[in-house]
Structure 1
Amino acid sequence: MKTTGFAAAHAGMLLWALLIAASFSAAAQVSQAIDPVLLTGLRLLLCALVFLPLLLLNGGISLTGRALLGHSVLGLLLALYFGSLFEALRYTSAVNTGTMFTLVPLLTLVFEAVLTPDSQLRQRVLPVLIAATGAVLLILKGTAPGEFPSLYALTVYGIGCLAMALYAPLSQRLKASSLKGRGPATMTFWNMLSGAMFLLTFCGLSGGWRSASLLTLKDFYWLLYLALFATLATFWLLHRAIGVIAPSAVISYIYLSTLLITLFHWLWLRQSPLPLEIAGALLVGCGMLALLWSSRRSTSASGQASANR
Structure 2
Amino acid sequence: MNIRTGGVWGAHLGMLVWALLVGLSFPAVGLLSEGLPPLLLTAMRFAIAALAVLPLVWGAPGLVPSRPGAWLYALMGLCLAGFFGTMFWAAHRTTALSMATLYVSVPLLAYMLGRMIRVEQRALGLLALLLLGALGALGLAWAEAKGDLSRMQLGPGEAGFFVGCMASALYPVLSKFGLVRGWLSPHAGVRTLWSLVLGGVLIALLGLIFNSPAAMARMTLSDLLLVTYLGMFSSGVTFWLQQRATATLTPAAVTAYGYLVPFVSMLLLFIQQPQALSLVWLPGGVMVMAAILLLLRRDVRMRSPVAMSH
TM-score, normalising length from structure 1? 0.92
Deviation by residue 1:179-217 (Cα, 9 ceiling, x = unmatched): 344311000100110011111112223453221111111
- The structure-2 alpha-carbon separation of the partners of 1:106 and 1:302, relative to structure 1 and needing over 3 Å to count, comes to farther
Residue number in structure 2 paired with 1:196: 200
* 1:261 and 2:293 correspond: no
Conserved? CA contact 2:65–2:184, under 8 Å: no
Code of the aligned partner of 1:203: G
* 1:187 and 2:185 correspond: no
Long gaps (5+) in structure 2 = none
Code of the aligned partner of 1:38: L
- The structure-2 alpha-carbon separation of the partners of 1:72 and 1:85, relative to structure 1 and needing over 3 Å to count, comes to same
TM-score, normalising length from structure 2? 0.92
Residue number in structure 2 paired with 1:83: 85
* 1:291 and 2:295 correspond: yes
* 1:49 and 2:51 correspond: yes
Q: C-alpha separation between the residues in 2 aligned to 1:302 and 1:158?
A: 41
- The structure-2 alpha-carbon separation of the partners of 1:205 and 1:145, relative to structure 1 and needing over 3 Å to count, comes to closer
Conserved? CA contact 2:189–2:240, under 8 Å: yes
Shift of 1:271: 3.0
- Which of 3, 7, 10 is equivalent to 1:8? 10
Conserved? CA contact 1:141–1:277, under 8 Å: yes
Code of the aligned partner of 2:196: M
Code of the aligned partner of 1:69: W
Deviates more, 1:241-250 or 1:271-280: 271-280
Query: Residues 120-159 of structure 1 correspond to what in structure 2 (within 5 A)?
Result: 121-143=123-145, 144-159=148-163
Q: C-alpha separation between the residues in 1 aligned to 2:21 and 2:306?
A: 30
* 1:29 and 2:31 correspond: yes
- The structure-2 alpha-carbon separation of the partners of 1:263 and 1:233, relative to structure 1 and needing over 3 Å to count, comes to same
Deviates more, 1:199-208 or 1:165-174: 199-208
- Which of 170, 173, 193 is equivalent to 1:169? 173
Code of the aligned partner of 2:261: S
Deviates more, 1:250-259 or 1:268-277: 268-277
Residue number in structure 2 paired with 1:68: 70
Q: What do you get for the CA RMSD once the two structures are aligned?
A: 2.0
Q: C-alpha separation between the residues in 2 aligned to 1:49 and 1:268?
A: 34
Shift of 1:262: 1.1
Between the two proteins, what is the percent identity of the paired residues? Answer: 27
Q: C-alpha separation between the residues in 1 aligned to 2:65 and 2:170?
A: 23
Long gaps (5+) in structure 1 = none
* 1:276 and 2:273 correspond: no
For residue 249 of structure 2, give the secondary structure of its aligned residue in structure 1: coil
- The structure-2 alpha-carbon separation of the partners of 1:63 and 1:145, relative to structure 1 and needing over 3 Å to count, comes to closer
Shift of 1:121: 2.3
